[in-house]
Chain A
Amino acid sequence: MSFLGYRLEPRAKPPGYVVFLYSFAAVLIALIITGFIFIAFGLNPFSAYATVIQKTLLSWRGFSQVLLKTVPLLLTGVGLVLAFRAQFWNIGAEGQILAGAAAAAGVALFMPLPPFLGIPAMFLAGFIAGGIWGFLPALLKVRLGVNEIITTLMMNYIMLYIVRWLINGPWKGKNVRGFSESDKFDASFVLPLFKGTRLNWPTLLIALLFVLFIFFLLARMKLGFEIRMMGESPEAAHYAGVNFLTTTILLVLLSAGAAGLAGVGEVAGIHKKLLEPTSISQGFGYTAIIVALLARGNPLATLATALLLGWVFASGDVMKVSLRLPDQMSGVINGLLLLCIIGIEPLLRYRIVRVNGAKLGEREASSGT
């Protein structure tokens, strides 16, 4: 089977540099297509990109905006990498982020704590709340075989409406008049920022440590080995005596807990209050699925993929403000990126070989001897 003198030949396992080069090419193609969208809006694509790059990458202030979006994607994304490695399809990160955010707000609003304990207590509460939100689907899956894709997805909506109820009902601020939001957090419950930016460093630090921890867990720890067995061959894991219940619950607690931590960072670092759920998380829980899938099961790779998608989010803001493009641009670029990266997938599994009659004949002759 050949086409225009070329044909595809399967390959065993693509080397690392091939994966990197092809992924890079895919990103480039997506950005070139975006260039045509700029043209359609009457913009010069080169100057448009120049503006976007200058405002996102060439100044610390701009880059801090990229990191601001990267942090929740990184925490949530690396948690999803862990879940996906075990074939636990956690689509509920959005709800787990909100659960973490709500728990942090609960601590900030109602727990009288000494100032130095406020922030650790919020992160702890957020981790546990996120974990609990993942626990129920995990239990249902292992005990009753309920599909976790459906349960985790539905849990998102439950948490969304719980948060809406909280900000309109019991937790509605006394000083917010008509707005649906809580009171502002006390200063001791607000995360410290990098100077001159809106980026808080505690969540960034936690995210980086969490990535290292998940990498270490999968590479070196007994639990990581069990998670990999369970994901790669459930039958062999049963045979080896892996306890599916405890292993699944532990990994989901970590995965959903990471999303909870991201939620804490959003309310305690940026908004300083509990507010409308779609403002707390701009779909980070769903975008993190792309982060995790692009990382191809490698926790360290989320550093790059989260940064890429964080940049797309930040660029969307720049396009809106400086280029007066519609709000949906970052969604469009996200979609194009995903399409292009999925599109190159066959090239990772096959290589393109030029059909050369003489050479082919030689190979057949030599294999025959």
Chain B
Amino acid sequence: MVLSATESPPATIPHRLSMKGITKRFPGVLANDNVSFDVRPGEVHALLGENGAGKTTLMNILYGIYQADSGSMSINGKPVQFRSPKDAMREGIGLVAQHFHLARRHSVAENIGLGLGGTHFFYPVRALETQIKTLGETYGLAVDPKAKVWQLSPGEQQRVEILKALIQGAKILILDEPTSVLTPQEAESLFAVLRRMRAEGEAVIFISHKLDEVMEIADRITVLRKGAVVTSMDKAEASPELLAQHMMGKAVAPLRPKTKPPVAKNVLELKNVSVKNKRGMNALKSVSFELHHGEILGVAGVAGNGQAELIEILTGLHQPNEGQIMLDGKDITSLNAKGLFEAGVAHIPEDRNHMGVVPSMTVSENLVLRQYRYPPFVQMGLLNWAKVNSFAQSSIKDYQIATPSRDTLTRLLSGGNVQKVILARELSGEPRLVVAAHPTYGLDVSATALTHDLLLKQRERGAGVLLVSEDLDELLKLADRILVLFAGELMGVVDAATTSRETIGLLMVGRRAAA
């Protein structure tokens, strides 16, 4: 601690960057709400927050990709306004994006020379190669300038991105989730580079949702939640527990009346299920859990930790590589989407506009998107439109779907009404298991309330509900138990009534509770 205090410069040094009162609104979302943020030279300032907290929007404003609705920015005390990333680069801002923007078939030097002013007309990269070498030695960013990018590991490609920013004259370097593609060893050498940059007087903005890393590398930490700054503190004052608490928020979820306890009988049981994703990596690692009748089991986790794969194997869109899935004691591991629908699994998909409905079809047609092949909607291969239409008419009434008519194209409906079409369709068959993926994401208050109400009704009816959500408030409000996934592993299952947001927060970032 003493060491870090001497390393970090005193507060009197003028800010290299200062952002004041930044507000950015997207249709229906307040992405940044009066955010103020600054960086001093020779400092690593971490920006911490969950997905959707507004970190990336803030950095896109700083880099000139978006323009703020209100607020001001200054660099070295001079007010600036960026209309494009070009303006930002001119003022010495460099961005190392989460996904690299490199031409894979070209060499390191060629990639760095791309878009760089003042290079020679002939052999523009020759002079660069020496520059890359000297700069690489200064910061410990060793890369062969002649190597082709496709030959490099993700860690080396990241070094190229950092070198590119430095050669373009970056004095403020933004690293967006830089360790997400790195092995632990590569992450360690990245931190060594960042320490050297700090010693050279560079300013670094380090975006992350990983508490360990932030504690290791940052001098100061700013936490964002729901678009606003929650706190800004020096590392000396911070602890992982405190940061997790700030990230998740402290709001107490209102308790809902629990009329019936869950029945102690499994509707769903997973036994040691492992799944490889499309890139052949283990997305779920030997996950086992059970879900009771009349229970809502919440699934929490930072996006990309196996939730999508869990939903896919439970709805037949993907088959697990290992393990067994049982529905009411029957093995359903190898059933496809059609088979699982017939077995009584309802699926409320995350991407409601692409997967949940066919936008160019009518409301009637979308209401039978899964039932069309069963009587009474089909007889001897012929669709019975009279039956479809009367079903549509009653669904529109029961679920209060706001549509001009049942023959209106679904793409003309609002997001909430599209979700009502999906709910009406999926819940009409009295399913045994409801798999709901982010069911209220992007919905307004009334549609959210209706969705919550419908899920609770399914619980009362005795169905099992698996609710995957990134909204911790929603999980605490609805779920009986909450299961937390991290890096494809089941970190733990907690009782929603007795747990705390901090416990879940720590599980979400891969720390098992000490207690």
Which of A221, A228, A238, A240 has most chain B Cβ within 10 Å?
A240
Q: Which A residues from 216 to 248 make CB contacts under 8 A with B? A: 220-223, 225, 228-229, 232-233, 235-243
Determine how close the nearest CB of chain A comes to the CB of B185; give it in whole angstroms.
37
Residue B372 interfacial (CB < 8 Å): yes
Q: Are B372 and A225 in contact (CB under 8 A)?
A: yes
Q: State A242–B341 Cα separation when bound (angstroms).
A: 12
Q: Are A239 and B317 in contact (CB under 8 A)?
A: yes
Q: Are B361 and A228 in contact (CB under 8 A)?
A: yes
| B residues near A221, Cβ cutoff 8 Å | 381-383
Q: Are A236 and B341 in contact (CB under 8 A)?
A: no
- Closest residue of chain B to A216 (Cβ to Cβ) is B382
Q: State A223–B382 Cα separation when bound (angstroms).
A: 9
Q: Are B316 and A220 in contact (CB under 8 A)?
A: no
Q: Are B383 and A229 in contact (CB under 8 A)?
A: no
Give a binary string over B42-64; 1 marks a CB under 8 Å from any A CB, 0 the rest: 00000000000000000000000
| B residues near A243, Cβ cutoff 8 Å | 338
Q: Are B351 and A235 in contact (CB under 8 A)?
A: yes
Determine how close the nearest CB of chain B comes to the CB of A253; give it in whole angstroms.
16
Q: Are B336 and A241 in contact (CB under 8 A)?
A: yes
Q: Are B383 and A225 in contact (CB under 8 A)?
A: yes
Contact A240 to B370, CB < 8 A, known contacts A233-B359, A235-B355: yes
Q: Are A220 and B356 in contact (CB under 8 A)?
A: no
Determine how close the nearest CB of chain A comes to the CB of B386; give it in whole angstroms.
12
- Closest residue of chain B to A237 (Cβ to Cβ) is B358
| B residues near A220, Cβ cutoff 8 Å | 382-383, 385
Q: Are A222 and B372 in contact (CB under 8 A)?
A: yes
A241 partner, pick from B316, B354, B358, B385, beta carbons under 8 A: B316
| A residues near B359, Cβ cutoff 8 Å | 232-233
Q: Are A232 and B361 in contact (CB under 8 A)?
A: yes
Residue B360 interfacial (CB < 8 Å): yes
Residue B373 interfacial (CB < 8 Å): yes
Residue B369 interfacial (CB < 8 Å): yes
| B residues near A12, Cβ cutoff 8 Å | 412
| B residues near A233, Cβ cutoff 8 Å | 354-355, 357-360
Determine how close the nearest CB of chain A comes to the CB of B184; give it in whole angstroms.
36
| A residues near B235, Cβ cutoff 8 Å | none
Q: Are A232 and B381 in contact (CB under 8 A)?
A: no
Q: State A228–B369 Cα separation when bound (angstroms).
A: 11
Give a binary string over B328-366; 1 marks a CB under 8 Å from any A CB, 0 the rest: 000000001111010000010101001111111100010
Q: Are B381 and A223 in contact (CB under 8 A)?
A: yes
Contact A241 to B341, CB < 8 A, known contacts A221-B382, A235-B355: yes
Q: State A268–B403 Cα separation when bound (angstroms).
A: 54
B355 partner, pick from A225, A236, A241, beta carbons under 8 A: A236
Q: State A236–B418 Cα separation when bound (angstroms).
A: 13
B383 partner, pick from A222, A232, A239, A240, beta carbons under 8 A: A222
Determine how close the nearest CB of chain B comes to the CB of A349; give it in whole angstroms.
15
B360 partner, pick from A225, A232, A240, beta carbons under 8 A: A232
Q: State A243–B356 Cα separation when bound (angstroms).
A: 17
Determine how close the nearest CB of chain B comes to the CB of A230; give it in whole angstroms.
10
Q: Are A239 and B360 in contact (CB under 8 A)?
A: no
| B residues near A239, Cβ cutoff 8 Å | 315, 317, 337, 347, 349, 355-356
Residue B378 interfacial (CB < 8 Å): yes
| A residues near B315, Cβ cutoff 8 Å | 239
Q: Are B369 and A236 in contact (CB under 8 A)?
A: yes
Give a binary string over A187-208; 1 marks a CB under 8 Å from any B CB, 0 the rest: 0000000000000000000000
B369 partner, pick from A222, A223, A229, beta carbons under 8 A: A229
Q: State A120–B385 Cα separation when bound (angstroms).
A: 35
Q: Are A241 and B381 in contact (CB under 8 A)?
A: no
Which of A221, A235, A238 has most chain B Cβ within 10 Å?
A235
Q: State A243–B373 Cα separation when bound (angstroms).
A: 12
Determine how close the nearest CB of chain B comes to the CB of A217; give it in whole angstroms.
10
Q: State A275–B399 Cα separation when bound (angstroms).
A: 64
Q: Are A238 and B372 in contact (CB under 8 A)?
A: no
| A residues near B351, Cβ cutoff 8 Å | 235
Determine how close the nearest CB of chain B comes to the CB of A83; give it in whole angstroms.
18
- Closest residue of chain A to B336 (Cβ to Cβ) is A241
| A residues near B349, Cβ cutoff 8 Å | 239
Q: State A240–B373 Cα separation when bound (angstroms).
A: 10
Q: Are B337 and A240 in contact (CB under 8 A)?
A: yes
- Closest residue of chain A to B388 (Cβ to Cβ) is A225
Determine how close the nearest CB of chain B comes to the CB of A168; give it in whole angstroms.
45
Q: Which A residues from 1 to 53 make CB contacts under 8 A with B? A: 12
- Closest residue of chain B to A241 (Cβ to Cβ) is B338
Which of B341, B359, B361 has most chain A Cβ within 10 Å?
B361
- Between-chain CB contacts (< 8 Å), 9 pairs: A221-B381, A221-B383, A225-B372, A229-B361, A232-B360, A233-B354, A233-B360, A239-B347, A241-B338
Residues of chain B touching chain A, judged by Cβ–Cβ distance below 8 Å, are: 315-317, 336-339, 341, 347, 349, 351, 354-361, 365, 369-370, 372-373, 378, 381-383, 385, 412
Residues of chain A touching chain B, judged by Cβ–Cβ distance below 8 Å, are: 12, 220-223, 225, 228-229, 232-233, 235-243
User: Besides the contacts A228-B358, A233-B355, A238-B355, what 10 more A-B pairs have beta carbons closer than 8 Å?
Assistant: A12-B412, A221-B382, A225-B372, A225-B383, A228-B361, A229-B369, A236-B354, A237-B358, A240-B338, A241-B337
